[in-house]
Amino acid sequence: MMGQLYADALGGASAELEYVDGTRVALDAARWFDLIDGDEALLERCASPTLDIGSGPGRLTVELTRRGVRALGIDITPSAVALTRRAGGFALLRDVFDEVPGGGRWTTALLADGNIGIGGHPEALLRRVRQLVRPDGTVLAELAPPDAKSRVDRVRLRRGPRVGDWFGWATVSAGDIRRLAHAAGFRRVERWTAHGRWFAALSRRVSST
Protein backbone atom coordinates (compact mmCIF):
# COMPACT_ATOMS: atom_id res chain seq x y z
CA MET A 1 0.00 0.00 0.00
CA MET A 2 2.67 2.52 0.99
CA GLY A 3 5.17 0.92 -1.36
CA GLN A 4 8.51 2.01 -2.68
CA LEU A 5 8.03 5.74 -2.14
CA TYR A 6 7.58 5.12 1.59
CA ALA A 7 10.65 2.90 1.65
CA ASP A 8 12.61 5.64 -0.14
CA ALA A 9 11.42 8.20 2.40
CA LEU A 10 12.66 5.97 5.23
CA GLY A 11 15.98 5.89 3.38
CA GLY A 12 16.16 9.68 3.51
CA ALA A 13 14.51 10.68 0.23
CA SER A 14 11.98 13.49 0.32
CA ALA A 15 8.36 12.54 -0.25
CA GLU A 16 5.01 14.22 -0.01
CA LEU A 17 1.60 13.09 1.12
CA GLU A 18 -0.94 14.15 -1.50
CA TYR A 19 -4.64 14.58 -0.71
CA VAL A 20 -7.44 14.01 -3.19
CA ASP A 21 -7.97 17.76 -3.62
CA GLY A 22 -4.35 18.12 -4.75
CA THR A 23 -3.00 19.50 -1.45
CA ARG A 24 0.49 18.20 -0.69
CA VAL A 25 2.38 18.12 2.60
CA ALA A 26 5.96 17.01 3.17
CA LEU A 27 6.26 13.58 4.74
CA ASP A 28 8.32 14.07 7.87
CA ALA A 29 9.98 10.66 7.92
CA ALA A 30 12.83 11.89 10.14
CA ARG A 31 10.27 12.21 12.95
CA TRP A 32 9.92 8.43 13.06
CA PHE A 33 13.57 7.68 13.89
CA ASP A 34 14.50 9.41 17.16
CA LEU A 35 12.44 9.80 20.30
CA ILE A 36 10.38 12.99 20.33
CA ASP A 37 8.60 15.01 23.00
CA GLY A 38 5.57 13.18 24.28
CA ASP A 39 6.89 9.67 23.53
CA GLU A 40 7.62 9.17 27.21
CA ALA A 41 3.88 9.55 27.93
CA LEU A 42 3.32 6.45 25.80
CA LEU A 43 6.42 4.46 26.71
CA GLU A 44 5.83 4.62 30.46
CA ARG A 45 2.42 2.98 30.03
CA CYS A 46 3.64 0.03 27.97
CA ALA A 47 3.87 -3.33 29.74
CA SER A 48 5.32 -6.63 28.50
CA PRO A 49 4.45 -7.80 25.98
CA THR A 50 3.71 -4.76 23.80
CA LEU A 51 2.65 -4.87 20.15
CA ASP A 52 3.66 -1.71 18.22
CA ILE A 53 1.30 -1.53 15.23
CA GLY A 54 2.65 0.33 12.21
CA SER A 55 6.02 0.47 13.91
CA GLY A 56 7.85 2.14 11.00
CA PRO A 57 11.60 2.25 11.58
CA GLY A 58 11.01 1.15 15.15
CA ARG A 59 11.57 4.21 17.32
CA LEU A 60 9.22 2.97 20.04
CA THR A 61 9.79 -0.78 19.59
CA VAL A 62 13.54 -0.32 19.97
CA GLU A 63 13.26 1.97 22.99
CA LEU A 64 10.88 -0.43 24.75
CA THR A 65 13.27 -3.31 24.12
CA ARG A 66 16.14 -1.24 25.49
CA ARG A 67 14.09 -0.67 28.66
CA GLY A 68 13.41 -4.36 29.12
CA VAL A 69 9.81 -4.30 27.92
CA ARG A 70 9.22 -7.20 25.53
CA ALA A 71 8.02 -5.52 22.33
CA LEU A 72 7.24 -6.53 18.76
CA GLY A 73 6.80 -4.07 15.92
CA ILE A 74 4.68 -4.91 12.90
CA ASP A 75 4.76 -2.95 9.66
CA ILE A 76 3.84 -3.60 6.03
CA THR A 77 7.05 -2.08 4.63
CA PRO A 78 10.07 -4.42 4.44
CA SER A 79 12.63 -1.64 4.85
CA ALA A 80 10.87 -0.40 8.00
CA VAL A 81 11.10 -3.89 9.48
CA ALA A 82 14.76 -4.12 8.48
CA LEU A 83 15.53 -0.74 10.09
CA THR A 84 13.90 -1.82 13.35
CA ARG A 85 15.87 -5.07 13.46
CA ARG A 86 19.11 -3.27 12.68
CA ALA A 87 18.42 -0.90 15.60
CA GLY A 88 17.96 -3.83 17.97
CA GLY A 89 14.20 -4.30 18.00
CA PHE A 90 12.01 -7.26 17.08
CA ALA A 91 9.81 -6.63 14.06
CA LEU A 92 7.72 -8.60 11.58
CA LEU A 93 6.44 -7.77 8.13
CA ARG A 94 2.76 -8.03 8.88
CA ASP A 95 -0.59 -6.34 8.22
CA VAL A 96 -2.52 -5.88 11.48
CA PHE A 97 -5.60 -7.40 9.83
CA ASP A 98 -3.68 -10.59 8.97
CA GLU A 99 -2.56 -13.28 11.40
CA VAL A 100 -0.49 -11.66 14.16
CA PRO A 101 1.57 -13.78 16.57
CA GLY A 102 0.36 -13.82 20.16
CA GLY A 103 -3.17 -12.82 19.16
CA GLY A 104 -5.25 -12.28 22.31
CA ARG A 105 -2.20 -12.28 24.58
CA TRP A 106 -0.70 -8.78 24.21
CA THR A 107 -0.78 -6.65 27.35
CA THR A 108 -0.39 -3.39 25.43
CA ALA A 109 -1.05 -2.50 21.80
CA LEU A 110 0.34 0.78 20.48
CA LEU A 111 -1.21 2.93 17.75
CA ALA A 112 1.25 5.84 17.85
CA ASP A 113 1.88 8.67 15.39
CA GLY A 114 -1.63 8.68 13.97
CA ASN A 115 -1.57 4.95 13.23
CA ILE A 116 -5.19 4.82 14.36
CA GLY A 117 -5.68 6.01 10.78
CA ILE A 118 -4.49 2.68 9.33
CA GLY A 119 -7.03 1.30 6.88
CA GLY A 120 -9.22 4.39 6.95
CA HIS A 121 -11.80 2.76 9.23
CA PRO A 122 -10.79 3.32 12.86
CA GLU A 123 -13.77 1.48 14.34
CA ALA A 124 -12.83 -1.64 12.34
CA LEU A 125 -9.17 -1.20 13.31
CA LEU A 126 -10.00 -0.85 17.02
CA ARG A 127 -12.21 -3.95 16.87
CA ARG A 128 -9.31 -5.84 15.35
CA VAL A 129 -6.80 -4.56 17.92
CA ARG A 130 -9.23 -5.39 20.72
CA GLN A 131 -8.97 -9.04 19.58
CA LEU A 132 -5.18 -8.88 19.80
CA VAL A 133 -4.88 -7.73 23.42
CA ARG A 134 -5.66 -9.71 26.55
CA PRO A 135 -9.10 -9.22 28.12
CA ASP A 136 -7.42 -6.91 30.66
CA GLY A 137 -5.05 -5.42 28.09
CA THR A 138 -4.80 -1.82 26.99
CA VAL A 139 -4.72 -0.13 23.60
CA LEU A 140 -2.75 3.12 23.57
CA ALA A 141 -3.70 5.39 20.69
CA GLU A 142 -2.39 8.77 19.61
CA LEU A 143 -5.12 11.16 18.49
CA ALA A 144 -5.62 14.50 16.81
CA PRO A 145 -6.38 17.43 19.16
CA PRO A 146 -10.01 17.77 20.28
CA ASP A 147 -10.57 20.77 18.00
CA ALA A 148 -9.55 18.75 14.93
CA LYS A 149 -12.26 17.17 12.82
CA SER A 150 -12.39 13.39 12.57
CA ARG A 151 -12.25 12.37 8.94
CA VAL A 152 -11.17 9.78 6.43
CA ASP A 153 -8.87 10.98 3.69
CA ARG A 154 -7.83 9.40 0.45
CA VAL A 155 -4.11 10.01 0.08
CA ARG A 156 -1.08 8.85 -1.89
CA LEU A 157 2.64 9.37 -1.65
CA ARG A 158 4.35 11.51 -4.25
CA ARG A 159 7.93 12.21 -5.14
CA GLY A 160 8.05 14.60 -8.08
CA PRO A 161 6.13 12.92 -10.88
CA ARG A 162 6.15 9.50 -9.18
CA VAL A 163 3.01 8.60 -7.25
CA GLY A 164 1.94 5.56 -5.24
CA ASP A 165 -1.55 4.09 -5.08
CA TRP A 166 -4.35 5.96 -3.33
CA PHE A 167 -5.17 4.61 0.13
CA GLY A 168 -7.51 5.50 2.98
CA TRP A 169 -6.21 7.17 6.13
CA ALA A 170 -8.31 8.30 9.07
CA THR A 171 -7.83 11.14 11.52
CA VAL A 172 -9.50 10.68 14.90
CA SER A 173 -10.13 13.67 17.12
CA ALA A 174 -9.62 13.28 20.86
CA GLY A 175 -13.18 14.60 21.11
CA ASP A 176 -14.56 11.55 19.31
CA ILE A 177 -12.46 8.75 20.86
CA ARG A 178 -14.94 7.88 23.62
CA ARG A 179 -17.81 7.31 21.17
CA LEU A 180 -15.55 5.42 18.77
CA ALA A 181 -14.00 3.24 21.48
CA HIS A 182 -17.42 2.29 22.84
CA ALA A 183 -18.62 1.39 19.33
CA ALA A 184 -15.55 -0.85 18.99
CA GLY A 185 -16.31 -2.67 22.25
CA PHE A 186 -14.08 -0.88 24.76
CA ARG A 187 -15.63 0.11 28.06
CA ARG A 188 -13.01 2.36 29.60
CA VAL A 189 -11.37 5.36 27.95
CA GLU A 190 -8.74 7.53 29.58
CA ARG A 191 -7.42 10.58 27.72
CA TRP A 192 -4.35 12.69 28.36
CA THR A 193 -2.12 15.18 26.63
CA ALA A 194 1.64 15.71 26.68
CA HIS A 195 3.79 18.18 24.74
CA GLY A 196 0.84 19.09 22.52
CA ARG A 197 0.16 15.47 21.63
CA TRP A 198 -3.11 13.75 22.56
CA PHE A 199 -3.45 10.15 23.66
CA ALA A 200 -6.04 7.69 24.92
CA ALA A 201 -5.82 4.37 26.76
CA LEU A 202 -8.67 2.01 25.86
CA SER A 203 -9.55 -1.09 27.82
CA ARG A 204 -12.38 -3.58 27.97
CA ARG A 205 -12.56 -3.76 31.76
CA VAL A 206 -14.23 -0.93 33.60
CA SER A 207 -11.99 -1.37 36.63
CA SER A 208 -8.55 0.18 36.44
CA THR A 209 -5.69 -2.32 36.50
Q: Which is nearer to other proteins, 13 or 163 (CB)?
A: 163
What is the maximal distance between C-alpha atoms in the chain?
53
Using CB under 8 A as the binding rule, whether residue 24 contacts other proteins is answered as no
Query: What is the chain's Cα-based Rg?
Result: 16
Closest CA to 200 of 185, 188, 183, 209: 188
**Interacting residues with other proteins between 93 and 152 (CB under 8 A):** 120-124, 150-152
Using CA atoms, how far apart are residues 198 and 168, in angstroms rounded to an integer? 22
Q: Which stretch binds other proteins (CB under 8 A): 20-28, 32-40, 101-109, 157-165?
A: 20-28
Per DSSP, helices labelled H in the chain are: 3-10, 39-43, 59-66, 78-86, 122-132, 177-183
C-beta of 143: minimal distance to other proteins in Å? 12
Using CB under 8 A as the binding rule, whether residue 170 contacts other proteins is answered as yes
Q: Which of 97, 104, 166, 209 binds other proteins (CB under 8 A)?
A: 166
Using CA atoms, how far apart are residues 31 and 60, in angstroms rounded to an integer? 12
Number of residues that bind other proteins (CB under 8 A): 21
Please give the residue ranges that form the binding site for other proteins (CB under 8 A): 20-22, 120-124, 150-154, 166, 168, 170, 172, 176, 179-180, 183
